[in-house]
Amino acid sequence: MRRGPLRETSFALLLAGRAISSLGDRLVPVALAFAVLDLTGSVTDLGIVFAAQSVPLVVFVLLGGVWADRLPRRLVMLTSDVVRALSQAACAGLLLSGAAHIWELAALQAVYGTAAAFFWPASTTIVPETVGEPGLQQANALLGLTGNVASVAGPALAGVLVATAGPGWGLAVDAGTFVASAGCLVFMRVVHPIAPDVPSSTIAELRAGWRAFRSRAWLWVTVVYFTVFLAFVFSPLEVLGPQVAKVSLGGPAAWAAISTALGAGAVLGGLLGLRWRPRHPLRAVFIWFGVAGPALLALLAAHAPLPLILLAALIDGGSGSVFNVFWFTALQREVPAEELSRVSSWDYVGSLGLQPIGLAASGPVAAAVGVSATLYGAAGLFLVLLCAVLAVPAVRNFRDDGVAPVRAR
């Protein structure tokens, strides 16, 4: 690591800020889920609150990509951190005062999602500005690894907070972590600057990003896969998993344990991502997806013993972590730096485009056909999607040769 990206002070500060805010983010799914369930007991309301966060993310992320190519990325990220700190602090205050209503939580999560829409395209592009090209895979692996460590610590801490002090404290801690992240960004300096584009019309820049996005089949096919996966496989898990834990597995502590197991697997996957360089990275990770992801959904649907669910979650967690390392490295190497924020924004909007529908629909579908049937259906769809994406040669045969495109200066 002394010879790696941590030599760069700017990257070390970026890493520290992302690590701190990731810890807070990992508290939220547990804390917010049980805040809503305690408030109304409705999985439909929970889906609405989660959808309220994701809808503005989808709506505004393209604009976020444009502005991340126009403005200093550090400034965009800093502003987003401040806004998200305020929205989560307001949520915490409402819950702790006992005056919260579902519409208030949904509105504040919408503010959070809007700010996140500007943060994520900038955060993808700023990595090559803080570390040299040879260290990109290690840098992405370290960023993922810190988030994965937070995936272990965050749900465990959330479980303790929810069980002892109430879910409002989880959101209060999340607000504090955004303040700390903003502090790291204040002191960070860009050492490998990428010149911003000369501003043109927003529509023209969106079109340019779309052309760059659709010209790479491995990119848009993978994004289409995640469009369907996040909406109709992951969303039922996110909405219905806490309900299964509450009814059949022992309550918040069980869901926190499952989330922690996913995080522990992600840590192991992040460590693997520091060194593993398969010839065909997308093929390797999609095959891994099929090992435990469908099994995790099926075990939850069957209300299986918690240890079996935890084992499946541990294996499944590693796959997502490794995918993120390979994916962000591929984007940063294959897409010219001056186009990267806009292409990343198309990645986000494509991947998340249907997720609000999936989140909002999971509760009503489960009410109509049953929680178990919905989770079994998600597991079956998972397998179909994996077969479909691996049938595409551009994805199956994609190779990352470790050569970056020429940067605009």
**Cα(305)–Cα(303) distance, integer angstroms:** 7
Give one word for 98, left, alpha or beta, with left for phi > 0 and alpha for psi -120 to 50: left
Return the pLDDT at 90: 93
Query: How far apart (Å, rounded) are the C-alpha atoms in residues 326 and 138?
Result: 10
Question: The domain at 5-396 falls in which architecture?
Answer: Up-down Bundle (1.20)
**Alpha carbon separation from 216 to 231, 330, 332 (Å, rounded):** 23, 12, 14
What are the pLDDT digits (tens) for 36-85? 887 877 777 877 888 888 788 877 887 877 777 777 888 888 899 999 99
The answer to whether the CB of 219 falls within 8 A of the CB of 227 is no
- Pick the closest to residue 73 from 403, 347, 340 (CA basis): 340
Q: How far apart are the first and last CA of the chain?
A: 28
Query: How confident is the model at residue 376, as a pLDDT?
Result: 93
Alpha helices in 135-251 (DSSP H): 136-164, 168-187, 202-214, 217-229, 235-244
Residue whose pair of structure tokens reads 């895979």 in the numeric block: 137
Calpha distance 210→342 (Å, rounded): 8
Amino acid at 167: P
DSSP conformation class of 167: T
The overall longest dimension of the chain from CA atoms, in Å, is 58
Chain segment 319-334, per-residue pLDDT in tens: 888 888 888 888 877 8
What burial class does residue 196 get, using C-beta atoms within 10 Å of its C-beta: 0-12 exposed, 13-18 middle, 19+ buried? middle
pLDDT at 87: 92
pLDDT of the chain, 409 residues: tens digit per residue: 455 677 778 888 888 888 888 888 777 877 888 888 878 777 778 778 888 887 888 778 878 777 777 778 888 888 999 999 999 999 889 888 888 888 888 899 999 989 888 887 788 778 877 877 667 777 877 887 777 777 677 777 777 777 777 788 888 888 898 999 898 888 887 766 666 555 566 677 777 778 888 888 888 898 889 889 988 988 888 888 888 888 888 777 788 788 778 878 888 887 887 777 888 888 888 888 887 888 899 999 888 888 999 999 988 888 888 888 888 888 877 877 777 777 777 777 777 778 778 877 888 888 888 888 999 999 999 999 989 989 999 888 888 665 444 443 3
Query: Cα–Cα distance between 120 and 183 in angstroms, integer?
Result: 18
